[in-house]
C-alpha cells in the first residue's frame, strides 16, 4: 500500500476508535478493522493479564468455533507468547512448516497457512496483542500489512488505555454522574451553539483523564482559553500551568528551555537549570504551535508522552516527568505529516483526543451572547454606561467574517465601547480591521454567500420567525423555506 493511503486509512481509523469510550465495543471494533483491512478469516484480541494462566486473557474474537474457542486460542499460545515476550510482531506465510511453531496443535489441525500477530504497546509496555490468521492464501499477509498493523497496534493500545481509564472513572462516578450542562461548566467560556457545545463536551470528558490533548482551530478561536479551563477544572488544578510557544525560539534554545540543562553542557551554561517540564511538575504543560516544533524535539516530546521520561541537555540520566500535556495548533498537522515536517507517530499520539474549536463564522448563533459578555466586561473596565447594542449594529456583527475569530470580535467590541458617546453601541461606533471588513462590503464573496448572510442575519433579528423574515426581505415564504432547506437549516 502507498504510504499516503496508509496514512489516510490510519487517520480514518483513529477518528473512529478514539471516539469509542466503551472498552468492549472498542476491542470489537479494533478486531473488526484489523480483520477487514487484511482480509483475515479469524482473529482475536488479548490483553496481558498477570493473573491468567497463560499470562493473557482473550477479550474479543471472531469466527472461532465458540465451543472450542478456548482450546484454539491456547493452540496459538506459542505465537502469542513470542509476541508478548519480545514485543516484536510475527508474520508467517507457512505456519505449518515454520519451526518456531512446530508444537502448535491448532496450527496443524486448522491447516493455518498465514498468521499475523502484533503487539499492542504503549511506549515500552506490551499491553496485549492482536492475532489474525488465514487458511486460504499464503500471501494474505505482506510486510506492508505488518507495517500497517504495527502502527495500528500502537494507536489501538492508546485508545484502549483511554477507554479503560474513562470507564473506571465512570464506575467511580467521578464528576460524570449526570449529563452536565457544559455551557455552565467553564464560567469564563462563552458559547451555546451546537458546534461549540460539542467541543466543550469532549473537553469535559477528559478533565480527569490524564491523556494528552490536541486543540486545533484557527487563530483566536480560544485554544489557550480552553487549555486553561481543562487545567483549572481537572485533577491538576492549583498546580502550575506552563505555556510554551514552540515557534518562539530556535531549536537548541527551545530544547534547553523545555528540558533544562546541566552546568557546562554548552557555553554560558554556568549552572544546572530546570526546564519548563520540571517547572510544570504536577501541573500542565501547554505546547502552543506544536506544528512548528523541530523534528528532533518532536522525537523527545514523543518519548516524554510515551515513557514520561526526559533528559536535561548534557545529562546522562533520565528524569521522570509528572505533567499533563496539552498541545495546540492553528496549522493543518495532517498536511505537515504528509510533507514530512511532523512525525506521524507524534501526530497520532496527540490526535487521540482532538478538540476542534470552530471558527466564529461557523457558530454565528453565539455572536449575541459573546457581544453581551464582552460589552459587560468592557463597560466595567472602562467605566462607561452603555446598556446595549443597536439591532442594526448587531446585524452587522452577525454578518462579518471574523477572520480573527473571538479575539478580533472582543477587540472590536472594546474599541466600540471606548469610542461610543451614546447609551447604545451603534453601527458608527464599530471599526473593523482592514481586510477583515464587514462581509457586506466584501467583494471576494459570492452572491450566494451574500444572500445567505443577509437571510441569516434577518432571521436572527426576527428571532427565527420566518414569515416576518420573508416580509422584511420582500420574498415569499416558500422561497425562503426552499433556501433554508437547501442549506440544511430545516
Ligand atoms: N468562547 C470564548 N468565550 C470567551 N472568550 C473567548 C472565547 N474564545 C476566545 N475568547 C477570548 O479570545 C481571545 C483569544 O483566545 P485564545 O488566546 O485562547 O485563542 P487561540 O486559539 O489560542 O489563538 P492563537 O491561535 O492566535 O494563539 C482571548 O482573549 C480569549 O479570552
Ligand atoms: Mg493561542
Q: Is the CB of 217 under 6 A from ligand 1?
A: yes
| pTM of the predicted model as reported, rounded to 2 decimal places | 0.72
Ligand 1 mutation target, pool 215, 216, 224, most atoms within 8 A of CB: 224
Q: Is the CB of 452 under 6 A from ligand 1?
A: no
CATH of the domain at 297: 3.40.50.300
Ligand 1 atom having least distance to the Cα of 218: 25
- Number of structural domains the chain divides into: 3
Nearest-CA residue for ligand 1 atom 10 is 222
DSSP 3-state helix, strand, coil percentages of the chain (rounded to 5)?
Answer: 50, 15, 35
How many angstroms separate the alpha carbon of residue 254 from the centre of ligand 1? 24
Q: Are residues 218 and 353 in the same domain?
A: yes
Name the residue with cell 545529562: 315
Strand segments, DSSP code E, in 41-196 are: 42-48, 56-62, 90-92, 114-122, 125-134
The answer to the question of residue 176 being in a domain is: no
Phi, psi dihedral angles at 48 (to 5 degrees) = -60, 140
Q: Are residues 343 and 375 in the same domain?
A: no
The answer to the question of residue 89 being in a domain is: yes
Residue at which a domain ends, from 113, 147, 171: 171
CATH of the domain at 134: 3.30.450.40
The helix (run of H) or strand (run of E) holding residue 444 is none
The answer to the question of residue 306 being in a domain is: yes
Does residue 6 carry a pLDDT above 50?
yes
Which ligand has its closest atom nearest to the C-alpha of 191? 1
Nearest-CA residue for ligand 1 atom 28 is 407
Q: Is 172 helix (H, G, I), strand (E, B) or coil?
A: coil
Q: Are residues 206 and 221 in the same domain?
A: yes
- Identify the band that residue 293 occupies on the pLDDT scale cut at 50, 70 and 90: very high
Q: Is the CB of 223 under 6 A from ligand 1?
A: yes
**Full domain range(s) for residue 330:** 182-358
What pLDDT is recorded for position 175? 45
Q: Are residues 411 and 447 in the same domain?
A: yes
Q: Is the CB of 228 under 6 A from ligand 1?
A: no
Q: Are residues 21 and 160 in the same domain?
A: yes
Q: Are residues 242 and 353 in the same domain?
A: yes
What pLDDT is recorded for position 407? 94
Residue at which a domain ends, from 313, 337, 358: 358
Q: Are residues 40 and 144 in the same domain?
A: yes
Q: Is the CB of 260 under 6 A from ligand 1?
A: no
Residue at which a domain ends, from 333, 358, 383: 358
Q: Are residues 163 and 197 in the same domain?
A: no
- Identify the band that residue 356 occupies on the pLDDT scale cut at 50, 70 and 90: very high
Question: Looking at residues 97-115, what average pLDDT do you find?
Answer: 66
Q: Are residues 379 and 477 in the same domain?
A: yes
Q: Are residues 116 and 141 in the same domain?
A: yes
Nearest-CA residue for ligand 1 atom 16 is 222
Terminal-to-terminal C-alpha distance of the chain? 42
Q: Are residues 221 and 347 in the same domain?
A: yes
- What grid cell was written down for 72? 484454539
Q: Are residues 115 and 263 in the same domain?
A: no
What pLDDT is recorded for position 446? 58
The answer to the question of residue 471 being in a domain is: yes
Task: Report the candidate in 468, 238, 488, 214 with the shortest Cα–Cα distance to residue 357.
Answer: 214
CATH of the domain at 436: 1.10.8.60
Does residue 433 carry a pLDDT above 70?
no
Amino acid at each position: 500500500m502507498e504510504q499516503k493511503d496508509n496514512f489516510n486509512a490510519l487517520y480514518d481509523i483513529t477518528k473512529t476508535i478514539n471516539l469509542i469510550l466503551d472498552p468492549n465495543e472498542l476491542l470489537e471494533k479494533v478486531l473488526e478493522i484489523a480483520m477487514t483491512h487484511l482480509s483475515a478469516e479469524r482473529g482475536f484480541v488479548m490483553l496481558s493479564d498477570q493473573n491468567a494462566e497463560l499470562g493473557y486473557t482473550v477479550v474479543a474474537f471472531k469466527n472461532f468455533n465458540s465451543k472450542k474457542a478456548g482450546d484454539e486460542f491456547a493452540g496459538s499460545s506459542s505465537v502469542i507468547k513470542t509476541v508478548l515476550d519480545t514485543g516484536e510482531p510475527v508474520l508467517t506465510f507457512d505456519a505449518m512448516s515454520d519451526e518456531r511453531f512446530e508444537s502448535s496443535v491448532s496450527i496443524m489441525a486448522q491447516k493455518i497457512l498465514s498468521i499475523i500477530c502484533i503487539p499492542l504497546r504503549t511506549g515500552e509496555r506490551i499491553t496485549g496483542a492482536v492475532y489474525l490468521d488465514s487458511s486460504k492464501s499464503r500471501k494474505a499477509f505482506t510486510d506492508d500489512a505488518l507495517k500497517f498493523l504495527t502502527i495500528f497496534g500502537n494507536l489501538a493500545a492508546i485508545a484502549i488505555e483511554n477507554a479503560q481509564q474513562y470507564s473506571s472513572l465512570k464506575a467511580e462516578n467521578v464528576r460524570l454522574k449526570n449529563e452536565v450542562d457544559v455551557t455552565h461548566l467553564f464560567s469564563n467560556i462563552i458559547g451555546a451553539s451546537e458546534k461549540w457545545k460539542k467541543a466543550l463536551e469532549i473537553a469535559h470528558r477528559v478533565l480527569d483523564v490524564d491523556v494528552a490533548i490536541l486543540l486545533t482551530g484557527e487563530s483566536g478561536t480560544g485554544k489557550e482559553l480552553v487549555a486553561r479551563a481543562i487545567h483549572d477544572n481537572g485533577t491538576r488544578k492549583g498546580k502550575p500551568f506552563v505555556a510554551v510557544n514552540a515557534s518562539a525560539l530556535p531549536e537548541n534554545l527551545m530544547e534547553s528551555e523545555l528540558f533544562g540543562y546541566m552546568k557546562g553542557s554548552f557555553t554560558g551554561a554556568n549552572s544546572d537549570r530546570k526546564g519548563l517540564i520540571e517547572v510544570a511538575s504536577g501541573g500542565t504543560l501547554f505546547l502552543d504551535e506544536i506544528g512548528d516544533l523541530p523534528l528532533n524535539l518532536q522525537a523527545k516530546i514523543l518519548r516524554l508522552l510515551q515513557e514520561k521520561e526526559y533528559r536535561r541537555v548534557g545529562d546522562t540520566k533520565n528524569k521522570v516527568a509528572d505533567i499533563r500535556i496539552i498541545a495546540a495548533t492553528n496549522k493543518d498537522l495532517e498536511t505537515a505529516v504528509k510533507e514530512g515536517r511532523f512525525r506521524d507517530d507524534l501526530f497520532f499520539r496527540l490526535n487521540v483526543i482532538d478538540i476542534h474549536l470552530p471558527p466564529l463564522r461557523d457558530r454565528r448563533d453565539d455572536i449575541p451572547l459573546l457581544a453581551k459578555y464582552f460589552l459587560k466586561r468592557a463597560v466595567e473596565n472602562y467605566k462607561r454606561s452603555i446598556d446595549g447594542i443597536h439591532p442594526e449594529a448587531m446585524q452587522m456583527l452577525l454578518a462579518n467574517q471574523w477572520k480573527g475569530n473571538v479575539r478580533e470580535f472582543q477587540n472590536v467590541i472594546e474599541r466600540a465601547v471606548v469610542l461610543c458617546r451614546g447609551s447604545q453601541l451603534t453601527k458608527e461606533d464599530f471599526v473593523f480591521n482592514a481586510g477583515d471588513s464587514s462581509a457586506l462590503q466584501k467583494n471576494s464573496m459570492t452572491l450566494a454567500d451574500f444572500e445567505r448572510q443577509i437571510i441569516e442575519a434577518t432571521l436572527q433579528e426576527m428571532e427565527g420567525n420566518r414569515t416576518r423574515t420573508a416580509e422584511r426581505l420582500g420574498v415569499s415564504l416558500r422561497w425562503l423555506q426552499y433556501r433554508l432547506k437547501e442549506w440544511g437549516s430545516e
